[in-house]
Amino acid sequence: MSSSQPVNIEALLTHIPLFNGLAPEEISRIARGTREIHASKGDILFHKGDPCNGFHLLVYGQMKLAFTSQQGSEKVVEILSQGQSFGEAVMFMEKPYIVFAQALTDSLLLHISKNVVFDELSRDHNLCRKMLAGMAMRLHQLMNDVESYSLHSGKQRIIGYLLREIPDAETADKVAISLPTNKGIIASRLNLTQEHFSRILHELTDLKLIVVEGRTIHIPSVVKLRKHEG
């Protein structure tokens, strides 16, 4: 990882939803406590147990948060894409990271220091509400994941995932979606083995609910697929 290619941090911060509505002088203060990180595919951003001195914003690229079991198997907790932030909760708890972060593609991130965040929160209660809302959404998604793993079959989990990947603006019944990363990582995210994931894709293909072309999944009828979600 490097930060050798300078970027306009203030301009990037201005376009991040979390900081919408902040005055230029507020953006400038945050920028002074922010550094850019250029991560190449495969780079580890931090390891489990590393100290957390701020939180990260993903400007572009893709990251995964994961942990490794004592048996050596990997469990993907989250797949992060452009515009998402991570590490806020651990920062507020002042605890070490409980997962590791790895770049799935070449990525640009901003690291905003804990000190500058705490200073701005003491000045701007609206920013505090935005950060709380963001963490609440993540917690809600985590609860949904726990419910899915506990109550839904592997097939239901995969169908639900595919349906969530359809863009909100898409209204056609026949759609194609592009998986954001390889099937092994998605399988781990859904708490499935890669073999089980592939077997279910074959089953959905045999039912003519999907057509798989590499990372592209064609859905001939969203309505029919939704009926199998359970």
| Equal fold, 9-151 vs 154-227 | no
The conformation of residue 207, written as its DSSP 8-state character, comes to T
β strands within 147-224, DSSP E: 175-178, 211-213, 216-219
Return the sign of the alpha-carbon dihedral for residues 64, 148, 160, 139.
negative
As a whole number of Å, the CA-based R_g of the chain is 19
Structure tokens at 182: 């390889």
Global model pTM greater than 0.85 = no
Q: What is the dihedral of CA 197, 135, 99, 113, to 10 degrees?
A: 140
Own/partner contacts of 6-14, CB < 8 Å, gap of 24 or more, are 6/36, 7/36, 7/59, 7/108, 9/34, 9/35, 9/36, 9/110, 12/36, 12/59, 12/110, 13/110
Mean pLDDT of 125-145: 76
pLDDT in tens, 141-190: 777 777 766 668 999 999 999 998 998 888 899 999 999 899 999 999 89
Structure tokens at 140: 């809600």
- CATH fold for domain 154-227: Arc Repressor Mutant, subunit A (1.10.10)
The residues spanned by each domain of the chain are 9-151, 154-227
Q: What is the CATH number of domain 9-151?
A: 2.60.120.10
Measured CA to CA, the distance from residue 171 to residue 227 in angstroms comes to 17
pLDDT in tens, 112-123: 999 998 888 888
